[in-house]
């Protein structure tokens, strides 16, 4: 009996690669292969060797095929969703010249500030790209490289994002998509192309950059013979342009022009991310005004400190993740890696409000509250800037995704601080599922958001709202507002 066609969606994140094998017709996950990454660096530096990403991709695909028990010949397409903003510089043979600078490398904060001023301020940047440079943005990382490692910058024969690098290894084609490109700081969301004024400002030749495909589901090539041998897959299968991890998660949720518009999402992972797919092109210094991968927009705000920071506090206290209690008078801002939203790149964690009666579980609860508050206030700003509250988004359920969405304490903390109804999708690998929908659409020519919506990957448990803990909200807001000048 012939095997049903299978597609592979790849989630190449900061910490690991996941390769999800899915039934191309129904979206039913068959298996997820995993392989870890290594992140190096201290004092603000965060780097990874892109060759290890490629090796991890091969390991994850092999593990997925073995777990699924399907023949490699059944695979018809593959797409990669990757961590955003990372800077990969290549030599003429397509090999990395140095480790990639990752999104959470904060050494480029001075370059981000200088770039903002050089163009004429935040408004000038948002008018062109939809976003203001911060340390995370690729443009700031390129300037850091240009200034601190000029030999590597001058030797670069290619400049890529993490997902671009892997897609090029698969198809032999230098390609990206509007979604991930919109996070570079040199792509104009207003015109849908690289901005020559910004490239000149950055000292970056556009010949070093990949072509921008129409969507993340565009077939940009076929799996090369060498890539097929490395991955154990058939040569010639469809390779989609792919996209950034946040854009793929939106596809996996069925958010976009052919699905849900203006529905808010909170992703609880290493970073905390809030976004909504909309037809409104945002232009606010408070937001990352990204493009979605399907032609809509994906206004987004990202915090650096979320689950990893809270887990670190739990480890320091010797407590389990769910040993937390509401923080009481204690306020803990767990900005252990600086912070991106609000823009406090050199900040450290801040603890205040201790009493003799304060307990360890309350301190852990305060860390949850500080992280959740930071993300939820960013969501309030996003909805306000995009005019989505007036459109009714304030009463729409907040979709909660990411690793934290599987944690009881995270869910209850978000419910209590937001006062919103929640939907927790049953699917646990939305980034990889979104990438799988891109792969399926590259094979079929269908719309990827419509494909994911038909698969039902964004469906899940609905939780009714609880009374908002305004006392905790106001207490944390007061501390952050008063401390921000010191944290800078």
Annotated catalytic residues are 245
Q: Is the peptide bond before 177 cis (omega within 30 degrees of 0)?
A: no
Question: What's the sign of the alpha-carbon dihedral 81, 86, 87, 92?
Answer: negative
C-alpha dist (Å) from residue 138 to 30, 83, 212, 446, 483? 35, 12, 16, 31, 28
Of 20, 151, 136, 37, nearest to 80 by C-alpha is: 20
Q: Report whether 24 contacts 6 (CB < 8 A).
A: yes
Question: Exposed, middle or buried: residue 118 (CB in 10 Å: 0-12, 13-18, 19+)?
Answer: middle
Cα–Cα distance for residue pair 30/11, rounded to 1 Å: 15
Sign of CA dihedral 408, 413, 416, 421: negative
Assign residue 97 a region: left if phi > 0, alpha if psi is -120 to 50, beta otherwise? alpha
> What is the dihedral sign for C-alpha 379, 215, 240, 175?
negative
Per-residue exposure over 421-433, b if at least 16 CB sit within 10 Å of its own CB, e if not? ebbbbebebbbbb
Q: How far is CA 342 from CA 151, 353, 370, 485, in A?
A: 34, 21, 12, 11
Of 374, 370, 347, give the one whose Cα is nearest residue 488.
347
């Amino acid at each position: 009996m012939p095997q049903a066609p299978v597609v592979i969606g790849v989630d190449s994140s900061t910490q690991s690669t996941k390769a999800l094998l899915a039934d191309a017709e129904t979206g039913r996950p068959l298996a997820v292969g995993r392989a870890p990454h290594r992140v190096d660096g201290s004092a603000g530096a965060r780097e990874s060797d892109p060759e290890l990403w490629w090796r991890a991709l091969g390991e994850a695909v092999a593990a997925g095929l073995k777990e699924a028990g399907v023949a490699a010949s059944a695979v018809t397409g593959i797409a990669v969703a990757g961590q955003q903003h990372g800077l990969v510089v290549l030599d003429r043979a397509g090999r990395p010249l140095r480790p990639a600078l990752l999104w959470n490398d904060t050494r480029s904060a001075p370059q981000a500030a200088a770039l903002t001023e050089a163009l004429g301020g935040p408004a000038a940047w948002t008018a062109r790209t939809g976003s203001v440079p911060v340390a995370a943005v690729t443009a700031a990382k390129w300037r850091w490289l240009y200034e601190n490692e000029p030999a590597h910058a001058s030797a670069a024969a290619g400049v890529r994002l993490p997902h671009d690098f892997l897609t090029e290894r698969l198809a032999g084609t230098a390609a990206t998509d509007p979604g991930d490109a919109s996070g570079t700081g040199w792509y104009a969301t207003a015109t849908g192309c690289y901005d020559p004024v910004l490239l000149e400002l950055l000292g970056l030749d556009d010949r070093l950059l990949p072509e921008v495909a129409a969507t993340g589901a565009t077939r940009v090539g076929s799996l090369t013979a060498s890539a097929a041998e490395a991955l154990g897959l058939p040569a010639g299968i469809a390779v989609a342009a792919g996209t950034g991890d946040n854009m793929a998660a939106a596809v996996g949720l069925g958010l976009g022009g052919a699905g849900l518009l203006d529905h808010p999402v909170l992703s609880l992972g290493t970073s905390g991310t809030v976004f909504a797919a909309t037809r409104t092109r945002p232009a606010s210094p408070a937001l990352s005004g990204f493009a979605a991968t399907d032609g809509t927009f994906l206004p987004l705000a990202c915090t650096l400190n979320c689950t990893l920071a809270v887990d670190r506090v739990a480890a320091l206290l010797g407590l389990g993740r769910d040993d937390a209690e509401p923080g009481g008078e204690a306020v803990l801002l767990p900005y252990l890696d600086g912070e991106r939203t609000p823009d406090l790149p050199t900040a450290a964690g801040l603890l205040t409000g201790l009493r003799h009666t304060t307990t360890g579980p309350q301190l852990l609860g305060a860390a949850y509250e500080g992280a959740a508050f930071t993300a939820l206030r960013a969501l309030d700003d996003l909805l306000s800037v995009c005019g989505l509250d007036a459109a009714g988004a304030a009463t729409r359920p907040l979709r909660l995704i990411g690793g934290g969405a599987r944690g009881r304490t995270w869910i209850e903390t978000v419910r209590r601080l937001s006062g919103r109804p929640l939907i927790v999708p049953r699917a646990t690998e939305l980034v990889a599922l979104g990438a799988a929908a891109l792969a399926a659409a590259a094979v079929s020519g269908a719309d990827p958001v419509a494909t994911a919506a038909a698969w039902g990957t964004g469906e899940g448990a609905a939780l009714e709202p609880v009374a908002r803990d305004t006392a905790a909200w106001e207490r944390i807001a007061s501390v952050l507002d008063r401390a921000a000048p010191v944290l800078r």
